[in-house]
């Protein structure tokens, strides 16, 4: 545990990576000349790295070119719509190869009991393909080449991560292209992965106080937007996934014109682009992607005050408050990130100072805005100390918010936040995997990888007046979900299903404690 | 809401298992070669390790003392961490709040990390703010205030953090397992201490600890980032000229941990658990032992990060019993440890426990084939490239190698040495160091639910030690 060091939560990627991924800097040397307009203007791919045809003879089209310090990021598009972002770095020791699909839990049909399908399908992508028929072939070949693989699913995306020694890049290109169009599922694989994901859910939600609070909070905050459903899915839905459902999902969403390949690290850009064009070029674009259904309307949530308590084996109250938060690509996002930093971004941040140091009510406080395509939630976590209660912490949080919404922050506070964010920005970009992760996230969630770099300038330009404005807009009203896990005060809760070990995993559907709104 | 991943991150695994670098970190150097680090004398007889990365506007910085939690006096466990934490909470007459304001104002981070073998202050800072950052760090090392009121406040904060960690079942399991694993051996000291041991620590203990630990010959200064060795040395010499050069704390060889008497189950009883956390293993060899690398490869084959590792393949892929199943070899200056970790639904606990123990026994009996060794050598060497991709990771690995008493080229020569491991060397290491008959086993589960299942499967109730989740 080494609990003596300062940490901003280590419990979740959304809090860690989202925070890191939003770090901007004031350093003018970061961003250099950027070619290509918003969204990338189509131009011929005859520039550096334009390597060869794509299997149908068409050259990749260069969409944009952007400097990251001494490095250059280029974005290309193949004829079938696959987008490719390349960031070679001769100082790296490895290659990060990520494939981002613009599909996440937001695309599931909850009314058809399909929550969790995007995530479970992500597991199934590691099984076998038509051309590599033996089970586990993908992992075996990748690992023989020295590569490590993983994947993640969120509301707005599914991403596959390969970390490679440089010489293994051709292996990754071949295998990733193969599974984009040739996956071959069996009933047994679906059954096994259902069990694995059920185990994942038990540990991450049913037996995790944070996981449960988080799931309940989103379920209460959103009334119609799919963010109300858990990414991992309801337990009953997980166990109802079939090969037919998974295959239909694959056919619908896994296509080159719904994907972005991001490659960073030690590789030759021209050779890599040529390999990618050859491997992915023959894959046809999906003609039905745009027919997936009506566009999901953003929902700003919550719109009122909602409170709920549950009992769990915790040493003292665990408090989670969800406020409205701007989307990752929102014009308000930079100022909101600065606001978050001022509130919780270090040992001297306002909430930490008040709750942990001065009043000694809490052992930790942490917060982060979700990195979502549509407006999400700003989650503030507080662990109370024994003998103290969530209401005491909430009172202090309210007092700090009242101050933040009453007057502008000082120049010193503003400068401190920006300096911390600059450090975190460089930390987040120090590895090949970090670069690929952030470029991909901004491309898929915020709509353009260049917003990652532009965010630097935005943050540098954030004024105290803007911080005041977003504080009032997002945190000023009493629109919040307040979740509290209290220590169990009596005998164990009855659990009729305990012999089966099944959590109901209801998330948004059933109350799990006392609720009022 | 957190994104859902295909498997637990290695980072999570490592944090859960301990802070000691293991195969996953040490197996780090592969395809692309890592930039070379420069070594030389630091202030007051210390060692200085620097990896210049000219393009990076950031510096990662570490001061590591070769004294950790294993040296904490009995009854005062947690002293090393407590003293180091307190040093940054008041120095040169500046109270904690002023120091934290100053560090945050620079955009810097500074953390305390204590493991059995070392105490580290480490952080990151923008190159342009390096001077005021080093001023602050030097004041903590040379002029800590150790004010009584801050001592009391810090004590309560650490106790509260120990309590908070009980929320997480994996952390909870690791805390109990580590003590079970090593028993009365100094490596069994909880680095963060306990409420009782922290309560016995007085200001004079802290003062004596700091004076003992922060002497030049006991320290490693290390940095990576936008700085040259000559430049950093000059900045350090200026600021740490008054660093004590007194006697270095004894680094006498640690005793061998007592062998476990067969195997018993320690059951950490936590209410309402639907899943069981399982950790199992036994003490093993020191990092400097010639069998260490062959044994690491055997364990990587058995329980490493690869989906084709034996545990992952048998427990998850073939049977769907768990989301993850791992074993690593924790390397330390003294006796390291083999530590397995798996988590499964309550109803599958007995099946899974028996399976992983059977597989471990089979590894001890049959070893691994030459083909399997070739596979794991490639995977481990490949993994090095990613693990060593960023300067901070390389820095941590170099400092850990130094703390563990390994040669200066440990990190850089790792791939070559992995390639050179022979099947015979692996077989010998397994035969010498695997002991499936004498294991520490810790479970976190609800005792009233699990004990009947264990007893039903012929595990004698007398072989189960139940301990409450919220004590000690």
- Predicted local distance difference test score (pLDDT) of residue A41: 39
Res B253: pLDDT: 81
Q: How far is CA B203 from CA B94, B100, B127, B199, B433, in A?
A: 18, 22, 35, 11, 42
- pLDDT over 50 at B30, yes or no: no
Kindly give the parts of chain A with pLDDT less than 70. Answer: 1-57, 291-293, 490-517
CA distance B108 to A383: 25
Q: What is the pLDDT of residues A63-74, one digit of tens each?
A: 999 999 899 999
Confidence tier at B432 by pLDDT (50, 70, 90): very high
pLDDT of residue A45: 40
The DSSP secondary-structure symbol of A28 reads: T
Q: Euclidean distance between the first and final Cα of chain B, in Å?
A: 32
Write out the DSSP string of A459-499. HHH--HHHHHHHHHHHHSSS-EEEEEEEEP-SSPPP-TTGG
What pLDDT, on the 0 to 100 scale, is given for residue A506? 39
Question: In angstroms, how far is CA B390 from the centroid of its own chain?
Answer: 19
Q: Which residues of B touch A70 (CB under 8 A)?
A: 55
State how far the alpha carbon of B381 is from the alpha carbons of A99, A291, B312, in Å: 24, 46, 20
Cβ distance A150 to B5 less than 8 Å, yes or no, reads: yes
pLDDT for the residue A386: 96
Q: Looking at residue B10, what is its pLDDT?
A: 39
The C-alpha atoms of residue B442 and residue B465 are separated, in whole angstroms, by 9
Subunit contact A420:B107, Cβ cutoff 8 A: yes
Q: Which residues contact A295 (CB under 8 A, 6 or more apart)?
A: none
| Residues A236/A505, Cβ–Cβ less than 8 Å | yes
Structure tokens belonging to residue A322: 């969800």
* B63 contacts B243 by C-beta, under 8 angstroms: no
Q: Which of residues 245-304 of A touch B (CB under 8 A)?
A: 265-266
More confident residue, A136 or B350: B350
Q: What local confidence, expressed as pLDDT, does residue A129 receive?
A: 86
What are phi and psi for residue A332, nearest 5 degrees?
-85, -10
The sign of the dihedral angle between the CA atoms of A196, A202, A205, A207 is negative
Interface confidence, given as ipTM, is 0.92
Mutate to test the interface with A, among B31, B152, B155 (most CBs of A within 10 A): B31
Task: List, in sequence order, every residue forming a beta bridge with B439; answer none if it has no partner.
Answer: B263
What one-character DSSP code corresponds to residue A99? E
Encode pLDDT of B238-253 as tens digits: 999 999 997 888 777 8
Element (H, E) at A412: helix A411-428
pLDDT of residue A54: 58
Instruction: State how far the Cα of A266 lies from the Cα of B388, in Å rounded to an integer.
Output: 13
- Listing DSSP states for A215-250 in one string gives HHHHHHH-SSSGGGS-TT--HHHHTT--HHHHHHHH
Q: A359 at the B interface (CB within 8 A)? A: no
Residue B133 forms contact with A (CB below 8 Å):
no
Percent of chain B with pLDDT over 70: 92
Instruction: Mark which residues 162-201 of B lie under 8 Å from A by CB.
Output: 162-169, 171, 175, 191-192
Of B1, B104, B383, the CB nearest to A214: B1
Instruction: Compute and round to an integer the Cα radius of gyration of chain B.
Output: 23
Residue B421 phi/psi, 5-degree rounding, is: -70, 135
User: Are A204 and B4 within 8 A, CB to CB?
Assistant: yes
Q: What is the mean pLDDT of residues B15-25?
A: 30
Q: pLDDT band for B33, please (50, 70, 90 cuts).
A: low
pLDDT in tens, A340-387: 999 999 999 999 999 999 999 999 999 999 999 999 999 999 999 999
């Amino acid at each position: 545990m080494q609990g003596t060091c300062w940490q901003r939560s280590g419990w979740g990627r959304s809090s860690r990576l989202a925070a890191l991924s939003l770090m901007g800097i004031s350093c003018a040397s970061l961003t250099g000349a950027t070619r290509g307009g918003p969204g990338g203007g189509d131009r011929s791919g005859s520039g550096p790295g334009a390597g060869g045809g794509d299997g149908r003879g068409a050259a990749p089209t260069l969409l944009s070119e952007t400097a990251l310090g001494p490095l250059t990021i280029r974005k290309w598009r193949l004829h079938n719509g696959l987008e490719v972002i390349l960031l070679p770095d001769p100082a790296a020791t490895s290659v990060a190869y990520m494939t981002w699909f613009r599909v996440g839990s937001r695309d599931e049909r909850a009314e058809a009991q399909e929550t969790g399908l995007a995530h479970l399908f992500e597991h199934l992508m590691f099984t076998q393909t038509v051309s590599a028929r033996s089970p586990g072939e993908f992992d075996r070949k990748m690992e023989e080449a020295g590569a490590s693989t993983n994947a993640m699913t969120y509301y707005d995306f599914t991403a596959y991560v390969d970390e490679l020694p440089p010489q293994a890049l051709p292996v990754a290109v071949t295998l990733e292209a193969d599974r984009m169009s040739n996956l071959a599922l069996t009933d047994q694989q679906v059954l096994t992965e259902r069990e694995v994901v059920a185990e994942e859910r038990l540990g991450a939600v049913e037996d995790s106080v944070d996981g449960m609070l988080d799931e309940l909070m989103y379920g209460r905050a959103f009334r119609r937007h799919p963010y109300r459903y858990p990414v991992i899915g309801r337990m009953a839905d997980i166990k109802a996934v079939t090969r037919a459902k998974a295959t239909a999902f694959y056919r619908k969403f896994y296509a080159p014109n719904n994907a972005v390949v991001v490659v960073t690290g030690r590789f030759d850009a021209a050779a890599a682009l040529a390999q990618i064009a050859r491997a992915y070029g023959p894959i046809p674009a999906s003609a039905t992607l745009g027919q997936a259904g009506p566009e999901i309307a953003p929902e700003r949530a919550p719109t009122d005050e909602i409170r709920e308590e549950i009992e769990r084996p915790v040493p003292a109250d665990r408090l989670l408050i969800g406020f409205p938060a701007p989307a990752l690509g929102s014009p308000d996002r930079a100022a909101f990130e600065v606001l978050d930093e001022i509130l919780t971004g270090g040992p001297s941040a306002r909430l930490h100072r008040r709750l942990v140091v001065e009043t000694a009510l809490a052992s930790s406080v942490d917060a982060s805005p979700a990195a979502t395509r549509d407006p999400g939630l700003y989650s503030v976590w507080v662990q109370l100390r024994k003998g103290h209660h969530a209401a005491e912490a909430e009172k202090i949080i309210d007092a700090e918010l009242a101050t933040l919404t009453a007057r502008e922050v000082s120049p010193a506070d503003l400068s401190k936040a920006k300096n911390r964010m600059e450090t975190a920005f460089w930390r987040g970009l120090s590895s090949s995997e970090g670069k690929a992760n952030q470029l991909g996230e901004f491309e898929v969630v915020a709509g353009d990888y260049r917003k990652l770099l532009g965010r630097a300038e935005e943050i540098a330009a954030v004024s105290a007046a803007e911080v005041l404005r977003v504080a009032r807009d997002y945190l000023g009203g009493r629109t919040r979900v307040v979740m509290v896990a209290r220590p169990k005060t009596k005998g164990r809760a009855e659990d009729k299903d305990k012999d089966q070990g099944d959590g109901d995993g209801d998330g948004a559907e059933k109350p799990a404690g006392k609720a009022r709104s | 809401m957190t994104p859902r991943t295909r498997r637990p991150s290695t980072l999570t695994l490592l944090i859960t298992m301990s802070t000691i670098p293991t195969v996953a970190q040490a197996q780090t150097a592969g395809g692309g070669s890592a930039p070379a680090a420069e070594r030389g004398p630091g202030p007051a007889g210390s060692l200085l390790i620097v990896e210049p990365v000219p393009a990076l506007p950031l510096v990662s910085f570490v001061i590591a003392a070769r004294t950790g939690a294993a040296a904490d006096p009995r009854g005062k466990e947690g002293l090393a961490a407590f003293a180091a934490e307190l040093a940054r909470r008041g120095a040169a007459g500046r109270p904690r709040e002023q120091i934290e304001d100053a560090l945050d104002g620079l955009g810097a981070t500074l953390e305390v990390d204590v493991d059995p073998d070392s105490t580290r202050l480490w952080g990151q800072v923008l190159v342009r703010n390096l001077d005021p950052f080093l001023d602050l760090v030097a004041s903590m090392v040379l002029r800590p205030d150790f004010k009584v009121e801050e001592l009391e406040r810090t004590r309560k904060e650490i106790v509260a953090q120990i309590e908070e960690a009980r929320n997480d079942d994996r952390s909870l399991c690791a805390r109990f397992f580590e003590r079970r694993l090593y028993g009365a051996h100094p490596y069994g000291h909880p680095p963060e201490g306990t409420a009782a041991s922290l309560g016995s620590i007085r200001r004079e203990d802290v003062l004596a600890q700091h004076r003992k630990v922060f002497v030049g010959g006991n320290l490693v200064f290390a940095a990576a980032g936008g700085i040259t060795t000559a430049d950093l040395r000059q900045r350090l010499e200026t600021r740490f000229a008054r660093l004590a050069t007194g006697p270095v704390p004894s680094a006498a060889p640690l005793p061998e941990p007592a062998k476990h008497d067969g195997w018993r189950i320690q059951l950490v009883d936590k209410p309402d658990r639907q899943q069981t956390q399982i950790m199992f293993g036994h003490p093993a060899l020191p990092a400097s032992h010639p069998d260490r690398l062959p044994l690491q490869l055997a364990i990587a084959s058995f329980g490493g990060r690869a989906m084709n590792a034996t545990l992952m393949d048998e427990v998850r892929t073939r049977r769907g019993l768990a989301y993850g199943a791992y074993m690593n070899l924790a390397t330390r200056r003294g006796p390291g440890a083999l530590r397995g970790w798996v988590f499964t639904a309550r109803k599958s606990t007995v099946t899974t426990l028996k399976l992983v123990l059977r597989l471990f026994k089979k590894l001890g009996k049959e070893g691994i084939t030459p083909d399997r060794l070739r596979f794991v050598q490639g995977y481990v060497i490949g993994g090095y490239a990613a693990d060593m991709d960023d300067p901070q990771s390389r820095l941590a690995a170099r400092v850990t190698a130094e703390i563990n008493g390994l040669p200066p080229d440990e990190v850089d020569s790792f791939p070559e040495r992995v390639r050179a491991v022979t099947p015979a060397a692996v077989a010998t290491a397994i035969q010498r160091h695997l002991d499936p008959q004498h294991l520490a086993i810790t479970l976190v589960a609800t005792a009233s639910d699990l004990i009947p299942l264990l007893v039903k499967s012929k595990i004698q109730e007398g072989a189960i030690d139940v301990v409450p989740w919220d004590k000690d």
